[in-house]
Structure 1
Amino acid sequence: MGGPSGRPVIGRGTWLDRVAYRLIERERRLGRSLDLLRVESGIAASGIPHIGNLSDPARAYGVALALRGLGHNSEMILFSDDMDGLRSIPAGLPQTLKDYLLMPVSRIPDPFGCHESYADHMLSKMTDVLDLMGIEYKLYRAREVYGSGLLSDTINEVLRNSQRIGEMIKSMTGQEKFLSELLYYPVCKGCGRIYTARAVAYDEGRRAVRYVCKGIEVKKIMHEGCGYEGWSYVGDGDGKLPWKVEFAARWKLLDIRFEAFGKDLIDSVRVNDWVSRNILGYEPPMHVKYEHFIDVGGKKFSKSAGNVFSPQEWLRYAPPQTLLLLIFKRSVGARVVSPRLIPTLYDELERLEDIYFGRVRIEDERLRAKLRGLYEYIHLLRPPQKPRAHAPFRLLADIVSIAPQDQLREFTIRRLQKYGIAYDEYLLDKAERVRRYLEDFGELSPVAAAVELSEAERQAIEEIVGVAEGARDGEEVQSAIFDAARRRGIDPPELFKKIYLLLLDRPHGPRLGPYLFDIGPQRLREALLRLSSRSHVQN
């Protein structure tokens, strides 16, 4: 299919398809097999996952789906970094974890007592969400990969070239640390910590690293070493590679062809690319750089800082497709993420569904293909067979806010019927989620639509407000809208559209007279006042 410019639409027309196409072309140029194209996402196991953490495997899986759509077999590797040390205690977690700082998170007991380790507990928070959303993955745990000896040959190659790599790290990043110590983090047999033990010599014949537990400063806190001196055998799982070289080792081991990264890892990825090519003899995967999700204060989400909005929390108020819409709708630019996005994304999901099933026409062919493709991807290429019943989040908020606690569904059905809106299980589920949202976050912010009103339209709306204040029922208000429009020579559908925009931030909605009667005229009056303050009146 082609667009107006004549250029063909790649796949489903989204950025995921463009990435997949570029990846396939790259692999063809490299002459590598296209039988299985593996994408990877690394997952930290050091704290409670937030929405930013979810975005990495979701994007990777989206690329895998796009590769399949272009006719190639693909799978996503989820790699749990559970050999990393616990550098700090994440906000809200027990202070008893202080005794385990700098120990590998896979060797720390689960403070909640429900998993074998701290790492397994935190990993389950991510895999539970991925499973719920239908995102498929093949899981590798660092502790198992290192302990199985799968990386022994690669670690040997890195350690044999440690001086050369250390010099390149200094050249590329300015970091001099690996000029004086080897590229390996042993786990100290004396105290069980991983970063305090410094690798000082390598016996290639025994494949053993000699280390001394000297101590290290992490996040401006000095952690003293225990003084233990010993040997760590690279195939026994009692140590790991630093991130500056570990990515490269994983790429070669697992034959990874694509891995995205956040901008905070630019230096690490550059070094790993060099190590992969020049030391390990493996062409590194294709990369896409993305910006982080940030909170309303402009700060990157952080497990240690505690500004975490988890996927589990989001899914209390909206279905998985809204989260995937947040992640898939674009690939670049930092995004502010807060619960206040949920109403907008919920309604945006329904607009995409209307476009997908032809309820809303998009004339631009490329844009239509892109939006239809986006709808398919947020459903992981398993979209509904038919459209569901829709209603604006704000309309449902008006209904559920006055519904009896024990009769939410029955009350919602009666109101929807009154407003001429069909309902189904999807819409009733949305009403329940909306109530939950209001209970936890309070009422919605006022509509901020920049509606342009002529003076005649403003006068008509002021008249409607006056009638609504003393109306006996919704039918009286409905008639008043038509009368106010006709008296001023306004096309009634245009006036309805303007009022819907003022109340619901969309050009259509429920049967307006009954709805306006139920919510009262005050909200419409306040919307007019906000318009006046923004000076959108046309004379």
Structure 2
Amino acid sequence: MSMNELMDAARVNKAWPFQEAQRLLKRYPDGAKPDGSPILFETGYGPSGLPHIGTFQEVLRTTLVRRAFEAIIGAKPEDGKTRLVAFSDDMDGLRKVPENIPNAEVLRANLNKPLSRIPSPFSNEHESFAAHNNAMLREFLDRFGFDYEFIASSDMYNSGQFDEALKQVLRKNQDILDIMLPTLREERRQTYSPVLPISPTTGAVLQVPVDVVDAESGIIRFTNEDGNVIEQSALGGQSKLQWKVDWAMRWYALGVDYEMSGKDLTDSVTQSSKIVRALGSPPPTTFIYELFLDANGEKISKSKGNGFTIDEWLTYGTEESLGLYIFREPKSAKQLHAGIVPRAVDEYWQFRAALASQPLDKQLGNPAWHLLRANGGFEGAEAPGAGDTLPVTYGLLLNLVGVLGAEADRDAVWSYLANYVEDADPAKHPELDVLVNAALAYNRDFVAPTLKKRAPSENEAAALRELDEVLAGLDPAISAEEIQTEVYEIGKREEYGFESLRDWFRALYETLLGSEQGPRMGSFITLYGVENSRKLIAEALAKA
């Protein structure tokens, strides 16, 4: 496949990253800015807390759009046609002490100061609370191989790199007030100012009215906490901006072309877009995604503790499965909990297995194409790992671990995998080994506590007895597919009274495995072993 073929297909593909990239192409029909500088994608991070699954989803989705845009314009990541900036808003004042932070008294003693000017409560390794959290962000992004540039707000303010943009904010102070004041409650209007001075006596970020004395030199006037009227510069880190103004100023100063955000920031996008126009630049192309919900369909809240963390997902699943879940339907609210992980794992591998044999238009709509491309780049189906499959599904592993019960451990699972997998060695199947450990953890925390094998009914017991006889007479060389056919035939027999094969398989799952759903029985019997499977049948019949 040629680059031109890829470009042509990408320009019309309906997968959402291409749809977003096509919107960006309307902004720059030639695929580049008039001055030749790279197209700038941005993601934002508030370092009052540690990186979380929301941080991951925003950087991943932005990366997917970035790579889709490169495909459309015929660029490779190394060509430098695009940039991704991870921006930390660490000049924000600390409004409240986050939960689960050690030495919280350090933070309480520094409330309202910029996050970058508060000592770290974690250790002396970092010079500030924000520096610690910024380091965690970079470690977090590096862990997943993201290609990004890190920018801290404090560096931009303190070094004067934002000074020219701040002067423009001061010049347009009244225009910004005209945009923002109608959106505020009357009480808030009385103290609102686009510029937040930093107190020269306490170092706190002040929410007070501000007069612009001289926009060209950056001088402002305000009443300090001690009641004194102060004139000081707004430049060089002596002030920061209100959130919506700050976001717009950042777009203006950096020349941001694309940024996405959660539905909770819809109004911020609207007002910041108006403000950046007032400053003299067009707003970036923006994308609003829906937020995650918990298992009960409720909004995830830190205070409620009803979230599902990225570390939890990676305990029970894989990075790729999380990527798949985040890739799909970004404009739909989705539940985020442990119960969705196994299906996401198996669906990812189904997409990956299909990729190599698909025509180009189907490849570009395949989530695995986008996820494999995200942090390396490739042209079309030549992705590393395209077409790969796992010899055993995650669902099948969970069933195996479930029936092994208390004896289940990594070595035991691999010993059973030898019945099914050629060269059943963890070193030769590292991705499968990851799933073995994940399945053990998932079974321990979610499956084992709920497993309950019911007794078979009379007709189910009769069918199980025939299945046992069939298994007893099997040729040792029989394939999993042939065993599956034998199981099918038993379920079809009229004398057992199953209304459908689904009822027969549900009976197998509930009486032998203790779950409502299960694997292809031919695969399971091959994996678990014929004799061990017959023992399961004997145990079930003993309850009849």
Amino acid at match of 2:113: M
* Cα pair 1:388 1:426 within 8 Å, conserved: no
Corresponding residue of 1:512: 525
Q: Residues 305-338 of structure 1: CA distance to partner in whole angstroms, max 9, x if unpaired? A: 5544332333233322122112112221111112
Corresponding residue of 1:484: 490
* Cα pair 2:396 2:519 within 8 Å, conserved: no
Amino acid at match of 2:219: A
Q: CA deviation at 1:140?
A: 0.6
Corresponding residue of 1:244: 244
Tell me, in whole angstroms, the C-alpha distance in 1 between the residues paired with 2:343 and 2:207: 48
Amino acid at match of 2:335: V
Counterpart of 1:211 in 2: which secondary structure? strand
Corresponding residue of 2:412: 411
TM-score by length of structure 1 reads 0.78
Corresponding residue of 1:53: 55
Q: Residues 211-249 of structure 1: CA distance to partner in whole angstroms, max 9, x if unpaired? A: 324xxxxxxxxxxx5546534422221221112211221
Q: CA deviation at 1:16?
A: 0.4
Amino acid at match of 2:365: K
Corresponding residue of 1:426: 431
Counterpart of 1:185 in 2: which secondary structure? strand
- Structure 2, unmatched stretches of 5+, are 2-7, 76-80, 378-382, 510-515
Counterpart of 2:388 in 1: which secondary structure? coil
TM-score by length of structure 2 reads 0.77
Q: CA deviation at 1:131?
A: 0.9
Corresponding residue of 2:29: 28
Report which stretch shifted further, 191-200 or 425-434: 191-200
Q: Residues 421-469 of structure 1: CA distance to partner in whole angstroms, max 9, x if unpaired? A: 775221122101222333444538789xxxxxxxxxx998653434568
Corresponding residue of 1:384: 385
> Measured at CA, do residues 313 and 85 of structure 1 come closer, stay the same or move farther in structure 2, by a change above 3 Å?
farther
Give the counterpart of 2:89 among 63, 66, 81: 81
Tell me, in whole angstroms, the C-alpha distance in 1 between the residues paired with 2:432 and 2:438: 10
User: What RMSD in Å do the two structures reach over aligned CA positions?
Assistant: 4.0
Matches within 5 A, 1:244-263: 244-263=244-263
Q: How many correspondences in the alignment?
A: 491
* Cα pair 2:420 2:527 within 8 Å, conserved: yes
Give the counterpart of 2:115 among 82, 100, 105: 105
* Cα pair 1:467 1:480 within 8 Å, conserved: no
Corresponding residue of 1:235: 235
Instruction: State percent identity of aligned pairs.
Output: 25
Q: Does 1:499 align with 2:505?
A: yes
Q: CA deviation at 1:209?
A: 2.2
* Cα pair 1:38 1:255 within 8 Å, conserved: yes
Q: CA deviation at 1:403?
A: 6.2
Q: Does 1:127 align with 2:138?
A: yes
Q: Does 1:187 align with 2:198?
A: yes
Tell me, in whole angstroms, the C-alpha distance in 2 between the residues paired with 1:284 and 1:24: 15
Counterpart of 1:284 in 2: which secondary structure? coil
Report which stretch shifted further, 203-212 or 41-50: 203-212
Counterpart of 1:124 in 2: which secondary structure? helix
* Cα pair 1:464 1:481 within 8 Å, conserved: no
Give the counterpart of 2:365 among 361, 370, 375: 370
Matches within 5 A, 1:161-172: 161-171=172-182
Corresponding residue of 2:163: 152
Tell me, in whole angstroms, the C-alpha distance in 2 between the residues paired with 1:495 and 1:185: 69
> Measured at CA, do residues 144 and 486 of structure 1 come closer, stay the same or move farther in structure 2, by a change above 3 Å?
closer
* Cα pair 2:48 2:115 within 8 Å, conserved: yes
Amino acid at match of 1:373: W
* Cα pair 1:166 1:176 within 8 Å, conserved: no
Report which stretch shifted further, 513-522 or 33-42: 513-522
Corresponding residue of 2:78: none
Corresponding residue of 2:336: 337
Tell me, in whole angstroms, the C-alpha distance in 2 between the residues paired with 1:347 and 1:46: 36
Corresponding residue of 2:397: 396
Tell me, in whole angstroms, the C-alpha distance in 1 between the residues paired with 2:10 and 2:460: 45
Tell me, in whole angstroms, the C-alpha distance in 2 between the residues paired with 1:202 and 1:27: 39
Amino acid at match of 1:136: D
> Measured at CA, do residues 291 and 524 of structure 1 come closer, stay the same or move farther in structure 2, by a change above 3 Å?
farther
Corresponding residue of 1:93: 101
Tell me, in whole angstroms, the C-alpha distance in 2 between the residues paired with 1:406 and 1:193: 59
Tell me, in whole angstroms, the C-alpha distance in 1 between the residues paired with 2:354 and 2:257: 34
* Cα pair 1:45 1:80 within 8 Å, conserved: yes
Q: Does 1:140 align with 2:151?
A: yes
Q: Does 1:465 align with 2:464?
A: yes
Tell me, in whole angstroms, the C-alpha distance in 1 between the residues paired with 2:14 and 2:538: 44
Tell me, in whole angstroms, the C-alpha distance in 2 between the residues paired with 1:74 and 1:262: 23
- Structure 1, unmatched stretches of 5+, are 2-6, 214-224, 448-457, 526-539
